[in-house]
Every structure is written in C-alpha cells, then in structure tokens.
Amino acid sequence: MKLSELRQIIKEELISEAKKSKEGLPFALAANIEKYGKPQTPKGAKSVDFTKKQEKSVKKTAEKLKKSMKEDVGNYMFFQNLKTIKQMVDEMLKLDEQMVDGILASGHDWAEDHIATSKDDVEEVHNFLMSKKVAISSMDEKLDPVGKEDEDINNDGKVNKTDKYLLNRRKAISKASKKGK
C-alpha cells in the first residue's frame, strides 16, 4: 500500500466520522478537507471536538491500517525499488548503444558516473545479502536435526574431548539455571 493510498483512507475515514455529526468544527473541517483538500475553518464556527465514539472509531481504523501495513508491506520498498531499478535497466539496455554513446559524449558524462555509483551500491548490498545467505545455509547444514542430535556437539566431524567438555558445560548451565528459578 502506497503512502498516498494510506493518506486517502485516513482522510476518508475522518471525513466519514465527522460528517455523521453534521455540526460543529469536525464537520466543518471535514467538509473543507473534502472540498479544498485542506482544513479551512469557517469564521464563527463553534468549537466542538470529536466525540469519544468518533475518536475510538478513528483510532480503531488507524490500528487496523498499521497492522495491515506491517503484514502486507514488510520490506515492500526494498523489493519495489529493486523492481523499479530492474525495469529501468531493462529499458535502457534496449536503447541503441551508439545513440547513447553520442548523448553521453555531448556533455552528459555525469550519467555514466551515476551508473557507476549505482552499480557499486547495488553490488555492495548484493554481496552483503549473498554472504548472509551462504552463512545461514551453511549453518543449517552443520546443525543436527532436532531430536537427532549426536555426540559430535560442535559439529566438527569428530567426537573428542572438546565435545565432552561442551556437553558437561551445557549440563552445568542447565542445572544452575534450574536452581535459580
């Protein structure tokens, strides 16, 4: 959900709630927002606040919106930006190379600098994410499945005194934590 869509939903909810009362400042503000896009309090309007019921309804709607945004959006902008970059790159790759060379040579070499900088930034994020992916996948491979742990505690491929030390240490920590409760 885009920010503009969220603003529109909140605006519509506020206007809807305010118009139900059909009187006072909330109604006047809602009518002005709807008509002019911004609040314009008429002269002589009496000051009336939203009722508790109206406030509760607006807060409830805002909470629903927050919850749905957290569920639906997640890292929306990260992935949306990647898709936009890909789309633009695909479009530029379809351009005639000689035409682009001519444009860049006629005083627009700044574009080449921007592409180089962008490439460096994307490469940095790519390398970071790929290293995390490799680290996570290698960690998953090294761990014993739950319920099928073996005597090789440190998963180095051999059972030795280090594994016995780690097992005894785990037992001691578990025993000490049970005493502390």
The domain segmentation of the chain, as residue ranges, is: 3-74, 77-142, 146-181
Would the pLDDT of 4 be above 60? yes
What secondary structure does DSSP assign to 14-71, as a single string?
HHHHHHHH-SHHHHHHHHHHHHHSS--PPTT----PPPHHHHHHHHHHHHHHHHHHHH
User: Exposed, middle or buried: residue 171 (CB in 10 Å: 0-12, 13-18, 19+)?
Assistant: exposed
Quick one: pLDDT at residue 142? 63
pTM: 0.39
Q: What is the pLDDT of residues 58-69, one digit of tens each?
A: 778 777 776 666
pLDDT digits (tens, 9 = 90+) for 137-167: 655 556 677 767 778 777 777 888 888 888 8
